[in-house]
């Protein structure tokens, strides 16, 4: 053998036994192979390793060796080999370690760099030796090829059996596998098949998956679930219906008697974290691998299944600019999903206007020519007259079959109630069976065995409670069911068939019902709007199911163009401002006051100029002012008086000086007369008082002093230089007599 390759360096490190089986079923049944792998511990002892130095890694039992992903045992083995802790790796064969050459050669590289041996049932190999590495490489390639051959054989057998319709796979609830090869039969429970049949019957009436689901919920019907779909006779679990369950019933081809295989495809892709992931993608019908029609008895025919799929496909919201009618909705626009643009062919969108949003209209989402920077619609028209014309054409086409349509509507109404009641009767019968079975179990138990008897008694009581609730609900629904049509009522319905307009306009007929009726005969309504100077008309092309075409022409109202006009207050203000300011300044003032153009835009110098030209307002002229003094802005006046603008604004607000403002938001202006200039000086007159001294001298507050300055009863100047800049107030005149100021006080002041 190859025991001479084992050196003292190898014996100082551990010996690792790697144990793996591909599936849990192999672990359970192929015990001999597992035992042989555990017996490699004795093989390590024969090569010289003590039992204490032998480690067994068996975390990967039940996992496939096709990839290292998810195999913690193999990852631990590779880590120990890479750190040089392993002297030899023992496995029954190479395929136990891995069946993927990428993982296999990575392990060989690590073993070669760390002087680690690899042993199987045939011998001991050193990956660093060329001949041994060559043999190990061939074994790894053969192991990977063996996996491919096994998969190809299994997959070929599966596909060959599926092509004959005999491959047993999970069936949807309501169907079960029979005794013969490929035999599929109806579920023996009538309650299960009854609710499935009710779903298809209801969809034929309402034409919507969601509508069918809501009907099941409204009727209080339960939906069956069959967890053990592969096992015949597995127990049924009843639960509340879900939209996904109803959609699966209406779209699964097995309910149409077809056997299918390969309706989905498994794809591999790299996730955001770089890990390999698998997803399943549903394929279109033309890409199904196996489709055997009329394979077994179904709930509906294959043609009905195809019609249902087309109807469901039309109910989804269509992609932009693509054909599709969409499901009927509650709005009053009758041509929703049917109307198209006569210019570009797009489906027309719906809008509603009026006080209560009760007036429908149609518009095209495409844009035509650009006018004033905006795209104009190909079509935008009110829908009242158009809906009336299409309705009249529809009712006229329906008259020959009006009587049959009325009777069919009455029959469908009765059938809907009867199917729901029949399902409730089945549920009551099922509840009665469960109660009887619980009673038999309770009667069969030994009364002295109270541990079992108490549990069976509780189960019996629960079954009796459910039975009583089901019977009460059935009685309530039977009482609420509308009575069957009598002979007189049928005659009345036939009489209504002579006046379809009255039925169409009846309050009990909803807009949703009217839309659904229109779709039974109409495929498309193409609308083209033509306008001239005096009037307008709409040309309608009605495409009926079957290929017939009708053309209608109806007048449509021409909306007067919206008149744009600037409000009188803005015009008057612009006229006053133009005397003093240029167009840019006027635009700034108008925007500051929050004014907008008739189109809702802000003002610019160009828009103000257009406003002046339209209303004949002359522009601002820079002329000399005839009044005394120069009229300046606050900033220019502050510069002229050698003050800070904030100081001048404060004296304006306090009333120390006067100013002019044409309108709120316009800039303040100050007229610099000699008197105004004299109010600002570098030196205060002798004896004039600061504000605090003036309040003490006059015995009043600062506000009173400022009010007297505004009224002209006191004189004041503003000192703009020196250490005590600010306001100086004229002192009070001296008074003789008892209360006149003393010499001491006078000097103090």
Whether residue 373 has pLDDT greater than 70: no
The residues annotated as belonging to the active site are 22
pLDDT of amino acid 748 = 34
pTM for the structure as a whole:
0.50
The 10s digit of each residue's pLDDT in 384-438 is 888 888 888 877 776 655 545 555 555 555 565 667 777 778 888 888 888 888 8
> Are 154 and 8 in a shared domain?
yes
Contact 652, 706 (CB under 8 A): no
> For residue 600, how many other CB atoms are within 10 A of its CB?
6
> Are 429 and 481 in a shared domain?
yes
Contact 593, 577 (CB under 8 A): no
Q: Report yes or no on 55 lying in a domain.
A: yes
The 10s digit of each residue's pLDDT in 425-480 is 888 888 888 888 888 888 888 777 777 778 888 888 888 888 888 888 777 777 76
CATH of the domain at 216: 3.90.1750.20
Q: Report yes or no on 599 lying in a domain.
A: yes
542 burial type by CB count under 10 A (0-12 exposed, 13-18 middle, 19+ buried): buried
**Which H/E stretch holds residue 168?**
none
> Are 142 and 180 in a shared domain?
no
Which of 85, 83, 82 minimizes the C-alpha distance to 53? 85
> Are 105 and 131 in a shared domain?
yes
Whether residue 632 has pLDDT greater than 70: yes
pLDDT of amino acid 16 = 93
The residue among 480, 496, 512 that closes a domain is 496
> Are 307 and 243 in a shared domain?
yes
Q: Report yes or no on 260 lying in a domain.
A: yes
pLDDT of amino acid 342 = 75
Question: What is the separation, in whole angstroms, between the first and last Cα of the chain?
Answer: 129
Confidence of residue 367 (pLDDT cuts 50, 70, 90): low
Q: Report yes or no on 88 lying in a domain.
A: yes
Calpha distance 567→590 (Å, rounded): 13
> Are 656 and 609 in a shared domain?
no
> Are 608 and 662 in a shared domain?
no
The 10s digit of each residue's pLDDT in 697-740 is 888 888 888 778 776 778 888 787 776 677 788 888 765 433 34
Which of 106, 100, 141 minimizes the C-alpha distance to 127? 106
501-508: long-range pairs with CB below 8 Å, 24+:
501/395, 503/406, 504/391, 504/395
Q: Report yes or no on 508 lying in a domain.
A: no
Whether residue 13 has pLDDT greater than 90: yes
> Are 104 and 145 in a shared domain?
yes
> For residue 391, how many other CB atoms are within 10 A of its CB?
19
CATH of the domain at 17: 3.40.50.1390
Whether residue 135 has pLDDT greater than 70: yes
The residue among 315, 331, 366 that closes a domain is 315
The 10s digit of each residue's pLDDT in 201-252 is 888 877 788 888 988 888 888 899 887 654 555 678 888 899 999 999 999 9
- For 26-46, b/e burial (b = at least 16 CB within 10 A) is ebeeeeeebeebeebbebbee
Calpha distance 429→415 (Å, rounded): 21
Higher pLDDT, 667 or 255: 255
pLDDT of amino acid 665 = 64
Of the candidate ranges 85-94, 310-319, 349-358, the one whose mean pLDDT is the lowest: 310-319
The residue among 315, 343, 363 that closes a domain is 315
> Are 110 and 141 in a shared domain?
yes
> Are 125 and 216 in a shared domain?
no
Contact 124, 6 (CB under 8 A): yes
Q: Which domain holds residue 74?
A: 3-160
Calpha distance 78→108 (Å, rounded): 10
> Are 311 and 181 in a shared domain?
yes
The domain total for the chain is: 5
> Are 723 and 637 in a shared domain?
yes
């Amino acid at each position: 053998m190859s025991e001479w390759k084992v050196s003292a360096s190898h014996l100082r490190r551990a010996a690792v036994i790697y144990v793996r089986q591909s599936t849990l079923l192999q672990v359970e049944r192929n015990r001999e192979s597992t035992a042989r792998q555990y017996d490699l511990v004795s093989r390590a002892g024969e090569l010289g390793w003590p039992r204490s130095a032998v480690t067994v890694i068996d975390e990967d039992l039940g996992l496939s060796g096709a990839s290292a992903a998810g195999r913690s045992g193999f990852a631990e083995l590779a880590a120990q080999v890479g750190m040089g802790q392993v002297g030899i790796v023992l496995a029954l064969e190479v395929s136990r370690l891995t069946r993927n050459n990428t993982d296999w050669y990575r392990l060989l590289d690590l073993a070669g760099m760390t002087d680690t041996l690899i042993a199987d049932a045939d011998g001991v190999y050193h990956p660093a030796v060329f001949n041994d590495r060559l043999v190990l490489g061939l074994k790894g390639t053969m192991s990977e090829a063996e996996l491919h051959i096994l998969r190809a054989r299994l997959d070929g057998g599966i596909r060959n059996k599926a092509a004959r319709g005999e491959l047993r796979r999970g069936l949807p609830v309501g169907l079960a596998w029979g005794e013969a090869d490929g035999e599929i039969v109806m579920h023996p429970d009538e309650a299960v098949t009854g609710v499935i049949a009710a779903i298809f019957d209801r969809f034929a009436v309402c034409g919507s998956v969601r509508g069918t689901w809501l009907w099941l919920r409204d009727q209080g019907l339960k939906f069956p679930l069959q967890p053990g779909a592969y096992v015949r006779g597995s127990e049924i679990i009843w639960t509340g219906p879900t939209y996904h369950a109803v959609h699966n019933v209406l779209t699964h081809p097995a309910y149409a008697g077809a056997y299918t295989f390969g309706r989905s495809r498994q794809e591999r892709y790299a996730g955001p974290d770089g890990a390999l992931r698998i997803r399943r993608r549903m394929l279109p019908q033309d890409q199904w691998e196996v489709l055997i029609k009329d394979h077994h008895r179904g709930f509906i025919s294959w043609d009905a299944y195809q019609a249902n799929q087309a109807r469901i496909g039309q109910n989804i919201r269509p992609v932009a600019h693509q054909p599709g009618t969409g499901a009927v909705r509650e709005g009053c626009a009758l041509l929703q999903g049917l109307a198209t643009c006569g210019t570009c062919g797009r489906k027309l969108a719906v809008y509603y206007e009026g006080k209560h949003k009760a007036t429908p209209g149609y518009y095209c989402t495409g844009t035509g020519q650009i006018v004033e920077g905006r795209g104009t619609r190909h079509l935008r028209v009110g829908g009242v007259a158009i809906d009336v014309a299409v309705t009249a054409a529809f009712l006229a086409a329906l008259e020959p079959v009006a009587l049959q349509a009325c009777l069919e509507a009455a029959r469908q109404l009765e059938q809907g109630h009867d199917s729901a009641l029949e399902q409730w009767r089945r549920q009551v019968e099922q509840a009665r069976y469960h109660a009887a079975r619980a009673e038999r179990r309770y009667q069969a138990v030994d009364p002295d065995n109270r541990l079992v008897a108490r549990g069976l008694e509780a189960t019996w009581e629960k079954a009796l409670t459910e039975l009583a609730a089901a019977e009460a609900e059935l009685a309530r629904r039977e009482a609420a069911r509308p009575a069957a049509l009598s002979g007189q009522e049928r005659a009345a319905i036939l009489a209504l068939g002579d006046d379809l307009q009255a039925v169409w306009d009846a309050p009990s007929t909803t807009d949703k019902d009217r839309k659904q009726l229109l779709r039974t005969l109409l495929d498309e309504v193409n609308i083209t709007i033509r306008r001239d100077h005096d009037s307008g008309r709409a040309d309608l092309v009605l495409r009926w199911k079957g290929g017939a075409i009708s053309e209608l022409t109806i007048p449509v109202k021409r909306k007067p163009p919206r008149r744009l006009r600037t409000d009188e207050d803005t015009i008057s203000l612009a006229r006053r401002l133009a005397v003093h300011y240029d167009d840019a300044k006027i635009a700034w003032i108008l925007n500051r006051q929050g004014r907008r153009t008739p189109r809702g835009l802000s003002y610019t110098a160009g828009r103000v100029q257009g406003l002046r030209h339209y209303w004949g307002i002359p522009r601002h002229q820079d002329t000399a002012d005839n009044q005394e003094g120069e009229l300046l802005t606050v900033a220019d006046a502050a510069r002229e008086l050698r003050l800070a603008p904030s100081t001048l604004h404060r004296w304006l607000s306090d009333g120390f000086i006067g100013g002019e403002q044409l309108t709120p938001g316009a800039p303040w202006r100050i007229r610099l007369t000699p008197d105004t200039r004299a109010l600002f000086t570098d030196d205060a007159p002798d004896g004039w008082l600061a504000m605090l001294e003036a309040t003490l001298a006059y015995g009043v507050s600062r506000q009173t002093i400022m009010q007297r300055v505004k009224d002209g009863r006191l004189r004041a100047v503003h000192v703009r230089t020196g250490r005590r800049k600010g306001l100086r107030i004229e002192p009070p005149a001296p008074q003789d007599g008892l209360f006149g100021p003393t010499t001491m006080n006078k000097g103090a002041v």
